[in-house]
Structure 1
Amino acid sequence: MSTDDQTDPRGVMRNRPDSVDVLASTVISVLRDRQAVSCEGLRQFVLDQISSRVLSKKHFAPDVVLAELRGYRLSVDAIIDLYVPAAARMLGEQWVDDKISFADVTIGTMRLQALLADASGASCVDHKVGAVRLNALVVIPQNEQHFLGASVVAAQLRRLGCEVAMSYDEDHGALTARLINDVPDLVLVTCGRLETLPSVANTIQVVRKAVGNDPTLAVGGACQVNKQRVMEITGADIVTSVAEEAVAHCLKYVNSPSTS
């Protein structure tokens, strides 16, 4: 009895419809795109999705976008620490390349801020029983536009168990009053541009004058090229954009017997 075997010796189906090949190619292409990584080692497909969501003309629901990102097997910490900052840089690059308008950047940044807030609410606090609970203040000085980056650092500090307050664009009088009312253990001043280092130095002088040398003073942001030089200019105790490093430096003095 003859059989109508549609498979050749290599196991490939003969007379297969062209649509099957097209579908297979599409699936392979999509999978390849999803595996592609950015220059920062992040999944480019996810970054493109975030960019698309925050630039969309449709209603933006941060909780829905967060759930979508979690569906890509991303941890909340990775979203906060890696993907939100990378998406913000993508917006800036697209604006510089004249692909989007300044209004688009502004709206996109505000949406990333909302996404960050939702992610921060879902993040787990790492605070061991009996551990020192630091009081931290993140300062965005006047004329700085580094609010999103400062919010990322604030979220990281909260995850480390710190109580965090934020000072945004306060004049020196308001900042002094805040510090006198509630002296923090750690003050982290953001610096988005090297050109604003003198302003950051003035802010640190205001902090020193208000509360002395008690708080650990950290400077973070885009001023990481020559850390020693930045410390000399600003009078900071440490220059870092890593929340864990700032907290560790602060704890050395909080836990020191000489401070008791």
Structure 2
Amino acid sequence: MTRHFFNLAKKFRRINLTDRAHSATLVVGQLSADNEKLAPRETHTESASMSDREIPSTSKSDLKLQIDDLAKRALSGVRQKLQPSEQTKITETAKWLTRYCVSGNFDLDLALDALDQKLIPAEIIIDYCIPMAAEELGDDWVDDLKGFGQVTLATSRLQMILNNVINYQNSESEIESAHGLMLIVCKDEQHTLGPSILADQLRRRGHSVKFLHSANSKELITLCKDHMFSAVLFSCSGHHSIDYITKSINLIKQEVAQKPLIFLGGKILDLEPEIKDKVDADGFSNDIDVVISKIENYKANEPAFYLKNGASK
């Protein structure tokens, strides 16, 4: 969802393998790490060459759009903000991720161990290496070097790696409080690499984030009432979710007393130039700084409410 989501000013922490927490929930298409151990070393029954029909249903065009958008932002950041030596190391790591995620011998723990040995900060892996690996997968697919099944499986494995790095980074720092942000991945979007990275970046900027995938209207309204979010962010990659977003926003505006700011971002902003005329959101942006600035201004203009309810700016 973000186009400028690289904040490299602070000193990054490296992945701690001892304290690393594994994700308890896997998204569609992911493989259990327990089923992919390499001791004893064996070829997995779920091969990287599996046919398209064996992969969970996903639109090929939607997957390509998500990969393209995610990688474009990562490459822009690498070229603009990192030194050549850093770019080289990141590029090499991204290529290694691409190769390993399509390997028939993929193992999650070994992948995380290898990344740790490369001495690359977790935030760099999240913001650069994984998006660039996704881009290489997309390019190989377009060039007929890899099949749709391979790309889908490898993307799911990238998500597994991302989940583990993010879980470690936020396992102790996530704040359960009102007036945080809710990030919603729209229905029928199987791959959540981009929104997952966005959620992590927002947390690194000090925001509590509730990450929700394909929420129904009842769940959405209940969460908004219970948590009094400062903002609700919808991430959308295609036209298929416009009706869902429109209905969700209308419900929030009708049924939630303390209305949050509502933002729409994602590839849909490029695909649908007239989206602002179709969706009643407060902001349309892929720039994390723009979104955060509007949220802080909104809070500043409602100081009595936020101070009364114990929110901090």
TM-score by length of 2: 0.59
Report the aligned-residue RMSD: 3.1
Is it true that 1:65 corresponds to 2:111 in the alignment? yes
Partner of 2:92: 45
Number of residues paired by the alignment?
Answer: 217
Question: d(CA) in 2 for partners of 1:216 and 1:172?
Answer: 17
CA gap 1:50/1:59 in 2 versus in 1, 3 angstroms? closer
Q: Is the 8 A contact 1:145 1:192 kept in 2?
A: no
Quote the offset at 1:211 in angstroms. Answer: 1.9
Q: Secondary structure at the match of 2:209?
A: strand
- The structure 2 residue matched to 1:238, chosen from 267, 270, 283, is 283
Select which of 154, 165, 174 maps to 2:210. 165
Matches within 5 A, 1:1-260: 41=79, 42-43=87-88, 44-61=91-108, 63-123=109-169, 134-194=179-239, 196-211=241-256, 214-225=259-270, 229-257=274-302, 260=305
**Conserved 8 A contact 2:179-2:228:** no
Conserved 8 A contact 2:100-2:106: no
Which whole-Å deviations, capped at 9, do the CAs of 1:75-103 have from their partners, x for residues lacking one?
Answer: 22121122222222332333333322333
Secondary structure of residue in 1 paired with 2:182:
strand
2:262–2:282 contact (8 Å) kept in structure 1: yes
Equivalent AA in structure 2 for residue 46 of structure 1: T
Cα 1:180–1:213 change in 2 (3 A) is closer
With structure 1 as the length reference, what TM-score do the two structures score? 0.70
2-structure distance, mates of 1:246, 1:149? 16
Residue 32 (structure 1) aligns with: none
Q: After superposition, give the CA deviation of every residue in 1:85-127 in whole Å (9 maximum; x if it has no partner).
A: 22223323333333223332232122111211222134379x9
Matched residue type, 1:144: E
- Between the two proteins, what is the percent identity of the paired residues? 23
| Structure-2 change in CA distance of 1:157 and 1:223 (3 Å) | same
**1:189–1:92 distance in 2 versus 1, CA, 3 Å:** same
Shift of 1:229: 4.0
Could you say which residue in structure 1 is the equivalent of 2:59?
none
- Conserved 8 A contact 1:157-1:164: yes
Q: 1:105 to 1:259 in 2, by over 3 A?
A: farther
Q: Which has the higher contact order (CA 8 A, sep 6+)?
A: 2
2:120 & 2:179 partners in 1: Cα distance? Answer: 28
Structure 2, unpaired ranges of 5+: 1-74, 80-86, 306-313
